[in-house]
Amino acid sequence: MARILTCDDAAFLRMQLKKLLVSNGHTVIGEAENGRACIDAYSRLRPDVVLMDITMPDMDGITATKEIMKLDPNAVIIMVSAMGVPEKVFEAIAAGAKDFVVKPYNEDKVLACIAKYV
């Protein structure tokens, strides 16, 4: 099972994701409330997967994805965002994200995305 870092400015969503992930055998090794904190956590924890929101204060998820990819070109970042418009999906993938799940997310879709990469 995967070691996962969640990055979302909404604490309730991080809690919801953690419950889903843990109940399915994954380990949430860290949480971050913005892109800058996510980069810091990634560099310290080196998770198997990052679940990243796009819209966050301080630093958005696309910018954070670009920075994490500089640290580790093999990073597995899955965007989990309400910003599911084609332009944002393309921008996220171009930044280095491996996949994209639109909020409100389907739990099976989140788990299936993780399973593709671990």
- Domains of the chain are 3-117 (3.40.50.2300)
Confidence of residue 113 (pLDDT cuts 50, 70, 90): very high
The verdict on pTM exceeding 0.85 is yes
**Which residues on neighbouring strands pair with residue 50, listed in sequence order?**
5, 77
> 32: closest CA among 55, 54, 58, 14?
14
State how beta strands 27-32 and 3-7 pair: parallel
Q: What is the pLDDT of residues 2-44, one digit of tens each?
A: 999 999 999 999 999 999 999 999 999 999 999 999 999 999 9
Q: How far apart are CA 68 and CA 79, in angstroms?
A: 13
pLDDT in the model for residue 34: 98
